[in-house]
Structure 1
Amino acid sequence: MIGMGPFSIQVVAALVAVLLAWVAARQAARWLPGGASSKAAGGLLFDAVFLGLVAARLGYIAQWWDEYAQSPMSMILIGDQGFTWWVGVLVAWVFIGWRTRSARILRRPVLMGMTAGLLAWFAAGGVLDLLQRSAPPLPALSLATIDGQPVVLDSYIGRPVVLNLWASWCPPCRREMPVLEQAQTLYPEAAIVMVNQGETGQQARAFLAGERLQFRDVLLDPSSQTMRAFASRGLPTTLFFDEHGRLVDTHLGELSLASLKHTMLRRFAQFQPIKTDKE
């Protein structure tokens, strides 16, 4: 499973972890001696989470500043899921310590809530990794090139594959296209495969020509069987496969250049991006 409704499974896991942290903080405030306010503990927990998310985003932008500087608007598009988690956790803990300097009775329940949320988040991450490792390999779906030539999807096994599911009517698909086009130059060892969902070859060609986009591998999937094969709930969806055809990462929603490079670094560290004139 890649997503639940319009949200990626990673986002859902993060929301569940925050909710668990809030519940744990309120319950700890009720149970611990001293009479701490459960409402105050829950409110402080949410304040710390919000500040931590902002700090995690800013930390990620700083880490990938050169990439975000090429497209400044992408800094506010948090759908790329670019966060440096340890920066956010550190800032949240410091904030809790500062806010409870004169109300120490709140510190323990809020920190307990934060710890419960982090444990749940890490556990969910481990489960998601296991699910990805057990996912079926790149399937033998019968698709066609944009010129109508038949091709089987698993014929790309043998090198890393970045499989992007898109449609011309999808605004975030359109916005991320230049990033994926650039990825062809940055990562020539990988196959950047653009699989159009539910449209005709004429529609796909007209869109790519109108946007002056050039991709080496554009496939047509008029019945959207690729979305069904991977239980994708929305577009765009980007799937990362290793050279053996195993699914190693997924991304539901718009990619930024930073988030693409980050995933390539984590999953295919042996392939360093080639320097371009834009960098």
Structure 2
Amino acid sequence: MHALQQSLALGPVGISIGQLLIVLAFFMALLAGALLGRRYRTPVADTLFTLLLLGLAGARTLFVIRYWGSYDGILSILDIRDGGFDPLGGLVVGLAYALWLMWRHPAQRVALAGALTTGAITWGLLAGPLLLMESTARPLPDTALVALDGSPADLPSLAAAEGQPLVVNLWATWCPPCIREMPVFEQMQQEADDITFVFVNQGEDARHVERFLAEHTLELDNILLDARNSLGEVTGSMAMPTTLFYDADGQLRSTHFGELSRATLLSGIERLR
């Protein structure tokens, strides 16, 4: 049985369903803004793009402040590929800017308010059911996996043996973001002894994986093989890398799509503690 689709793989690029919904909501806001702007003779497209950028900047800024110690310089702070955004920061900055604009430019009030309302309704109607389904506890899949030594393995058995939360990373040796985040996982696996990290390789054999680990001098525990990419299909995670965070009861609590930084990995782990 396949789970609710959480991400899509578009060639080498992975995108989450949540990101697609945000893009769609913004497009609907632009459309509503264009129609209302034409009626009231006040264009708001540029305003909406500025609002989006400021919201993203606010979300990033608050996240960086929360995990300041995990960033080692300005380049890592500016590297948004790790997906480190705090929605609260974006919401506060976006609403403050929108209210300021409507106070300063009364002519834009109707068009801007209509555009924002349309975008919010679109996102709510589409993302609401998705969030509701995601909030329903989903147990560890019992997909048959194989250890590097050829012995059979599965996530529920590993979780039962360890008795603590699991962070499950889906990866492959041909995936550049997977390679870049491996040292972060290696360090965290050594530091967080209350979390079990599992690395499930997608579609490759043991010899290839062992050669990769030796070439990159990586020391990782709990490396499992999923020759048929079954785990990605069962969890609805078709893009790599994907990291799944399961609590001590084996229930999925959050999912991170794309490359992780130390900050975003810590953010996911905090939800398990």
Structure-1-length-normalised TM-score: 0.83
Change in CA separation of 1:72 and 1:154 when aligned onto 2, cut-off 3 Å: farther
Amino acid at match of 2:21: A
Amino acid at match of 2:23: L
Q: How does 1:3-14 map to 2 (within 5 A)?
A: 3-5=7-9, 6-14=14-22
Tell me, in whole angstroms, the C-alpha distance in 2 between the residues paired with 1:80 and 1:252: 9
Amino acid at match of 1:216: D
Percent of residue pairs bearing the same amino acid type: 34
What is aligned with 1:167? 172
Tell me, in whole angstroms, the C-alpha distance in 1 between the residues paired with 2:21 and 2:197: 28
Match of 2:129 among 127, 130, 139: 127
Tell me, in whole angstroms, the C-alpha distance in 1 between the residues paired with 2:128 and 2:184: 29
Instruction: Please say if residues 97 and 107 of structure 1, whose CA atoms lie closer than 8 Å, have aligned partners that are also in contact.
Output: no
Match of 1:219 among 194, 199, 224: 224
Matched, 1:205 2:210: yes
Match of 1:85 among 84, 87, 92: 87
Change in CA separation of 1:126 and 1:104 when aligned onto 2, cut-off 3 Å: same
Instruction: Please say if residues 137 and 253 of structure 2, whose CA atoms lie closer than 8 Å, have aligned partners that are also in contact.
Output: no
What is aligned with 1:229? 234
Change in CA separation of 1:124 and 1:83 when aligned onto 2, cut-off 3 Å: farther
Tell me, in whole angstroms, the C-alpha distance in 2 between the residues paired with 1:18 and 1:29: 16
Moved more, 14-23 or 94-103: 94-103
Tell me, in whole angstroms, the C-alpha distance in 2 between the residues paired with 1:127 and 1:185: 38
Gap runs ≥5 in structure 1: 272-279
Match of 2:6 among 2, 9, 12: 2
Tell me, in whole angstroms, the C-alpha distance in 2 between the residues paired with 1:130 and 1:186: 34
Matched, 1:58 2:61: yes
Change in CA separation of 1:85 and 1:144 when aligned onto 2, cut-off 3 Å: same
Give per-residue Cα distances to partners, 1:121-145, cap 9 Å, x unaligned. Answer: 4565543332224475212222121
Give per-residue Cα distances to partners, 1:148-186, cap 9 Å, x unaligned. Answer: 222122213343111101111110000011111222234
Matched, 1:67 2:75: no
Instruction: Please say if residues 8 and 239 of structure 2, whose CA atoms lie closer than 8 Å, have aligned partners that are also in contact.
Output: no
- Give 3-state SS (helix, strand or coil) of 2:269's partner: helix
Instruction: Please say if residues 137 and 247 of structure 1, whose CA atoms lie closer than 8 Å, have aligned partners that are also in contact.
Output: yes
Tell me, in whole angstroms, the C-alpha distance in 2 between the residues paired with 1:45 and 1:8: 23
Tell me, in whole angstroms, the C-alpha distance in 2 between the residues paired with 1:188 and 1:58: 30
Instruction: Please say if residues 52 and 89 of structure 1, whose CA atoms lie closer than 8 Å, have aligned partners that are also in contact.
Output: yes
Tell me, in whole angstroms, the C-alpha distance in 2 between the residues paired with 1:174 and 1:105: 51
Tell me, in whole angstroms, the C-alpha distance in 2 between the residues paired with 1:115 and 1:106: 14
Q: How does 1:233-244 map to 2 (within 5 A)?
A: 233-244=238-249
Tell me, in whole angstroms, the C-alpha distance in 2 between the residues paired with 1:147 and 1:2: 31
Change in CA separation of 1:123 and 1:182 when aligned onto 2, cut-off 3 Å: farther
CA RMSD of aligned residues (A): 2.4
Q: How does 1:151-162 map to 2 (within 5 A)?
A: 151-158=153-160, 159-162=164-167
Match of 1:21 among 21, 26, 29: 29
Gap runs ≥5 in structure 2: none
Tell me, in whole angstroms, the C-alpha distance in 2 between the residues paired with 1:119 and 1:261: 32
Tell me, in whole angstroms, the C-alpha distance in 1 between the residues paired with 2:110 and 2:252: 41
- Give 3-state SS (helix, strand or coil) of 2:156's partner: helix
Instruction: Please say if residues 7 and 15 of structure 2, whose CA atoms lie closer than 8 Å, have aligned partners that are also in contact.
Output: yes
